[in-house]
Structure 1
């Protein structure tokens, strides 16, 4: 069932990254195919195993789509986003110096302002590789990360 959303390539990619559905993104990236795969995946019936405990994860799609114009809504899940203290030290590293376990001190955005990764996000290998692949579409190619992480 198509919910009437019209997503451009960039918004679809940002949503796919936020939902961590990397297995659905085929290269070269084509929005209609990805939208179809996302809709199929989201419409599947899932039964949770009693052997595993699951917790809610809040994904704020509005922030991904609105970028710099985003005004957060207060929620009970504020603990999931750890705000950076203004006094915290940061280091500037280039795109290709990003490594797993680095924590972003600023948002990583596309040239159009779509937020791909929020400040406070701790990178993993998959995200680092995705950022390398998107080099030509990023707003800039050097980023602030919290101090204490070496780029080597």
Structure 2
């Protein structure tokens, strides 16, 4: 460690499976950028019309390199505040559009709001249509849909 000050970010995990396609009947593992279950750090939230998108830093699905990607809030879960010391994450954050991270006083409320929004957005994916048999989406695997 080179003695850098930690930065408050929001840690989260990528859903193992996500619903997509017409009526949400198709399942895809993780996201295009991240493997399912991967730990990512939220560096910025686009609060605009409801916090539907955010900027996440994590290890890329195919290369393992640290990348910064704008992604949908619904593709992440388990939002929690985290003081980040990892040099690669801090380096990536310094070179990003939003290098400041989150205010230490507001990081807890922001992570709780993101968790609520993610659940809401996952529930809105084809609400009138049933999930396929033996569905592996995050809502079914965790009992969130009940």
Q: TM-score per shorter chain, which class? A: under 0.3
Instruction: Look at both structures and tell me which one has the larger radius of gyration over its CA atoms.
Output: 1
Normalized per residue, which structure has more strand?
A: 2
Instruction: State TM-score, norm by structure 2.
Output: 0.24
Normalized per residue, which structure has more helix?
A: 1
